[in-house]
Amino acid sequence: MTRTRVGILAILLVAAIVAGVFLWPRPSARAVYGAPRVAGAEVTTESALAVAGGDEEALALQVSGALYTSAPVVALTTPGDLDDAAAALAGLRVPLLLAPVSGPEEDVRAEIERLGASHVVTFGADLPDGVDLPTIPAGQLKAGEPGAPVFALVADETTAERVAPLLSPVSGQALVVAEDPRGSVDTVAALADSPDPTILTVGDLATDEDFQWKLETVLTGVELPGGGQLVAPGKLYVALYGHPGSSALGVLGEQGVEATIERARQHAAPYESLTDMTVVPSLEIIATIASAGPGADGNYSAEAPIETLRPLVDAAAENGLYVVLDLQPGRTDFLTQAKLYEELLALPHVGLALDPEWRLKPDQVHLRQIGSVAIDEVNQVVNWLADFTRERRLPQKVLILHSFRVSMTPEIDRLDTSRDELAIVMHVDGQGGQGAKQDTWRVLHDYAPNMPWWGWKNFYDEDTPAMLTPQQTIANVNPTPIFISYQ
């Protein structure tokens, strides 16, 4: 080998060595690309969480404190970089905190210490004073198995916009709900479709005891006929009235079970084009029947066995109909009779009606006197049925109070209408001439101006000159009732 050739090889060897210094991966680069991926945080197994709310920084701390029990890595960002951080951390289970802009850093520092973090991911933010942890890129984070679905329930869009990015690491969703979550069909459906969700309530919702039991009701996923878990507003119930197997007590009993279901649908169908409300075919079943004689128990009321009513109640459930059980108690009290039908009232599609016309005093007899009920007795039923509904986490129930005279329900101003478990309806049962029926309607409205909802009855045989058509009922009965029955 010539000296020239040896020299050339030496020069090439030196050049290769020098080039290798720049081209070979640096030790620091090897530390990043070769480092093990860091797992996400431990997420709470609690199903119900609550935070007080506040500005962006406060919410970030509260959400982290509620959702995460520990975290090997936390993320720190600024308000301007929050959306980018949320996108980068989606599904990675990393607590996302906001670096204080001008306020104290103690709270952020304390949260990082609580979580036991050993690394930090930053998005445009500096580490707080006193936090001496190595930073790593988001690409070094390891996605884990998805946990329970997470939903944050908030009262307004502004709060939803603040909370949504903070939920991105757990793939959570912010839902804007009304004061009563049972009224949102979308909320009921979203939560019901998610197995064992974690629910985080934010702000004033978190401190509202009524909201909490309503939310527990929503989580059952049970809906009323017509959707959602509220009887009203937004729904119109059109019902057949009577007793199974008895044509003398109303149109409901003029045919068998299947034909009754179909007839109820036929009565409801014309209203669908007359109103924006959801029309719900319904049945009002007389459960206890006013009797001419005292009977074995001396109360002038024949209590139908549950097994007599059950086929129609079950068929209604299968076909999306609402059911109301009507009580004609004679000389006993409404609450005593209502408790006889707990088994049926425990069903979500079954409500209750009280018929004071048939509530007798100890010396009265049906058809000789028109009955009446003391308001305290009505309030006993209100509170019992409301407690019954709340304890069983049932959707809201209808409670109808039938009337065609002011004297049937004295002191109506003391009626307890505060229980959100119930939708209380004053049902006007006047019959005869249409002019007289309208007079009764107006008198009872004047008498009970605070009544939440109203009902109207059309009689096939007793109304003159003829029973109102659906079109006439909607046009002539104002305000529009939510419960229209046919007898």
CATH number for the domain spanning 328: value is: 3.20.20
pLDDT tens, position by position, 185-218? 677 777 777 778 888 999 888 778 888 889 889 8
- Of 183, 218, 253, the one marking the end of a domain is 218
Q: Helices 257-268 and 306-318 meet at what angle, rounded to 10?
A: 50
Report CA torsion sign: 276, 277, 281, 287: negative
Residues 92 and 164 grouped into a single domain: yes
Q: What is the pLDDT confidence band of residue 102, given thresholds at 50, 70 and 90?
A: low
Identity of the residue numbered 223: E
Q: Assess whether pLDDT exceeds 60 at residue 24.
A: no
261-270, 286-295, 449-458: segment of lowest average pLDDT: 286-295
Domain assignment present for residue 168? The answer is: yes
Q: Is the pLDDT of residue 378 over 60?
A: yes
Are residues 404 and 271 located together in one domain of the fold?
A: yes
CA angle at 328 for the pair 287 and 381, rounded to the nearest 5° = 90
Banded pLDDT at 371 (limits 50, 70, 90): confident
Q: Please determine, for residue 293, whether its predicted confidence score (pLDDT) is greater than 70.
A: yes
In this structure, is residue 68 part of a structural domain?
A: yes
Mean pLDDT rounded to a whole number for the chain: 88
Model pLDDT, residue 256: 95
- The band of 22, judged by pLDDT with boundaries at 50, 70 and 90, is very low
Q: Give the integer Cα–Cα distance in Å for 233 and 5.
A: 97
- Cβ atoms 385, 338 nearer than 8 A: yes
Quick one: pLDDT at residue 29?
32
Judgement on whether residues 289 and 348 belong to the same structural domain of the protein: yes
For the chain, percent of residues with pLDDT exceeding 70: 91
Place 100 in a pLDDT band, splitting at 50, 70 and 90. confident
**Stretch 92-117: mean pLDDT:** 89
Range name among 35-44, 124-133, 264-273, 368-377 with the lowest pLDDT average: 35-44
Asked if the structure places residue 6 within a domain, the reply is no
Tell me phi and psi for residue 304, to 5 degrees: -70, 135
Q: Tell me what pLDDT residue 8 has.
A: 45
Per-residue model confidence (pLDDT) at position 194: 78
Query: Are residues 270 and 175 located together in one domain of the fold?
Result: no
Examine the domain organization and report whether 344 and 412 are in the same domain.
yes
pLDDT in tens, 50-99: 898 888 899 999 999 999 999 999 999 999 999 999 999 999 999 999 99
255 and 211 together in one domain: no
- In this prediction, residue 142 carries a pLDDT of 80
Note whether residue 228 is domain-resident: no
Tell me if residue 185 falls in helix, strand or coil. helix
Give yes or no: residues 199 and 311 share one domain: no
Domain check: are 374 and 260 in the same one?
yes
* Structure tokens, 441: 């309607």
Range(s) of the domain holding residue 417 = 235-486
| In contact, 56 and 162? CB cutoff 8 Å | yes
| 206 and 263 inside one domain | no
* pLDDT at residue 332 is higher than 80: yes
Helix (H) / strand (E) element for 346: namely none
Backbone Cα Rg of the chain? 34
In a domain, 421, yes or no: yes
Predicted pLDDT at 4? 47
Domain final position from 218, 248, 272: 218
136 to 40, 45, 236, 453: CA distances (angstroms): 13, 28, 60, 61
Q: Which of 91, 94, 77, 2 is nearest to 40 (CA)?
A: 94
From 153, 188, 218, give the residue that closes a domain.
218
What mean pLDDT do residues 151-174 have?
Answer: 92
Structure tokens at 442: 């107006």
User: Would 14 be classed as within a structural domain?
Assistant: no
Do 340 and 198 have their domain in common? no
Indicate whether 26 pLDDT > 70.
no
- pLDDT over 90 (residue 101): no
Percent of the chain whose pLDDT exceeds 90: 67
Q: How many domains does the chain have?
A: 2
Residue 181's pLDDT band (cuts 50, 70, 90): confident
CB 184 within 8 A of CB 177: yes
For residues 338 and 381, what is the distance between their CA atoms, to the nearest angstrom? 8
Residue 21 has pLDDT above 50, yes or no: no
pLDDT, greater one: 183 or 174: 174
Angle made by CA atoms 486, 327, 422, in degrees to the nearest 5? 85
Is pLDDT at 1 greater than 60 in this prediction?
no
Nearest CA to 428 among 411, 461, 451?
Answer: 451
Least-confidence region, from 213-217, 399-403, 436-440: 213-217
Residue, of 399 and 24, whose pLDDT is higher: 399
| Confidence bin at 31 (pLDDT 50/70/90) | very low
In this predicted structure, what is the pLDDT of residue 298? 85
- pLDDT of the residue at 32: 39
pLDDT digits (tens, 9 = 90+) for 242-290: 999 898 899 999 999 999 999 999 999 999 999 999 999 999 999 999 9
Q: What is the DSSP string of 114-135?
A: HHT-SEEEEES-PPPTT----B
Residues 370 and 441 in one domain: yes
Residue 324 sits in the same domain as residue 467 = yes
pTM value is: 0.80
Q: What pLDDT does 88 receive?
A: 93
- Residue 28, domain member (yes or no): no
Q: Span 330-348, mean pLDDT?
A: 97
11 in a domain, yes or no? no
